[in-house]
Structure 1
Amino acid sequence: MENPFSKALSADPAPLGLAAFAFTTFLLSFVNAGLIPASGANVVVPLAAAYGGLGQLIAGSWEMRRGNTFGFTAFTSYGAFWEFYALLQILADLKVLTVLPSVAVGWSLILWGILTLYLWGGAMLLNLALNLVFLTLWLAFVTLGAGAVYSSTALTHVGGYFGILAATFAAYTSFAIVMNSIRPGMLPLGPGIMRRKS
């Protein structure tokens, strides 16, 4: 008897994870870049918990089920990042923690940048669109981290713009994968920079 869930299990979870990342990153990056007031961070918190975090954790769990180690590691890690961000903001608002701005927060962002740097290496093998997502995200984390460590508004604004670029590339990649699932080859993702050995 045919498994009624077999088609559902073959669906690609990457567009969900990329969209959850992209649209949450857009909003926070608008704040970091100074394009919307800092109070906009209050709206980022529920979006980070419900979509950026949960959406990527779901995508990561399905990537694991499909045997995609890269997708599992990336989506689960960045989903956890958004849950970390939301929890940090909530605890700060409740006066449980006094963290913002903070050198420790800056270094936590730099550490996320290190994770992103090593994932960027994997993205180079996949396609140009993902390569650009991870490159600009790495630049965003490092610049935002330095901005927090040195209390530099200018660096935070630059990091915000890198975040907007990362979100743009992620949104495009999500859209391209969805459209290509309907009509193969409709939108290009570009070749990987490095070729896999067969």
Structure 2
Amino acid sequence: MTTHETAPREAPMSRPLPGAHIADPAPLGLAAFALTTFVLSTVNADFVPQSLVGGALGLALAYGGIGQFAAGLWEFAKGNTFGATAFCSYGGFWVSFWWLAEKDLGNLGPEGYKVVGVYLLGWTIFTAYMTVAATRVSGAVLSVFVLLTITFLVLAIGWFDKESSNWIKVGGYLGILTALAAWYTSFAGVTAFTFKRQVLPVGPRA
């Protein structure tokens, strides 16, 4: 009776995750967002005179804009749609803010103020739906997006009603809280890599 030997089947090779060799770009994107937001928010909160807002413009372009956009491109390489959409979008926000601020916001007049209000309202809408997606990332990331949505909304109201500076000042305080939340989340990501374990809690996703 003839026996037929069969070659052992090869175990199916698992496909590596996209961009697995690339370092996590999220801490960079969050840090760039945090610092730029912090500096501008100190102006909105009147900790720094409004006349010095120009000092934040270089930071807005180089770090908040280009730095975040670069982080978003690396998120694309890693296959992270959420991170890519967020960082590229907010990188674009800071570049557009840099261009807008170069137009001397203080001399826009009532109609110009409404344009800035609409601009900020649009970012409120975008941030609100990104907040829904953030519920599936982590508690820390969710806190950043919740705070940022409220910040954009309050600032939008402030620009629609520019005669009252209180709304913008409140938006400045909220922006500082948003920056602190973003810094914490960035710090948690950096230390998780350097310590090879999660050092700071980031909270569970929903």
Common fold, TM-score beyond 0.5? yes
Q: Distance in 2 between matches of 1:86 and 1:25?
A: 13
> Would you say 1:112 and 2:123 are equivalent positions?
yes
Q: Could you say what the CA RMSD is over the residues aligned between the two structures, in angstroms? A: 1.9
Q: 1:70 aligned to 2:105?
A: no
Write the distance in 2 (CA, Å) between the matches of 1:84 and 1:185: 35
In the alignment, is the contact (CA less than 8 A) between 1:24 and 1:48 conserved in 2? Answer: yes
User: Counterpart of 1:34?
Assistant: 46
Structure 1 runs not aligned, ≥5 long: 1-6
Match of 1:180 in 2: 192
Distance in 1, matches of 2:23 and 2:58, equals 27
Structure 1 residues 36 and 8: alpha-carbon distance in aligned structure 2, compared to 1, 3 A threshold: farther
Tell me how many residue pairs correspond in the alignment: 185
TM-score, normalised relative to structure 2: 0.85
Report the 3-state secondary structure (helix = DSSP H, G, I; strand = E; otherwise coil) of the residue aligned with 1:115: helix
Following TM superposition, the consecutive aligned residue runs of length 4 or more in structure 1 with deviations greater than 6 angstroms are: none
| Cα drift, residue 40 of structure 1 | 2.5
TM-score (norm 1): 0.88
The equivalent residue for 1:126 is: 137
Tell me the distance in 2 between the aligned counterparts of 1:122 and 1:99.
Answer: 37
For residues 117 and 177 of structure 1, the distance between their equivalents in structure 2, rounded to whole angstroms, comes to 23
Partner of 2:5: none
For residue 20 of structure 1, the aligned residue among 32, 37, 42 is 32
Cα deviation, residue 89, structure 1: 1.5
Contact 2:135–2:142 (8 Å) recurs in 1: yes
Counterpart for residue 190 of structure 1 = 203
CA distance in 1, matches of 2:189, 2:172: 26
Bigger helix fraction = 1
Query: Which of 142, 148, 159 is 2:159 aligned to?
Result: 148
Corresponding position of 2:171: 159
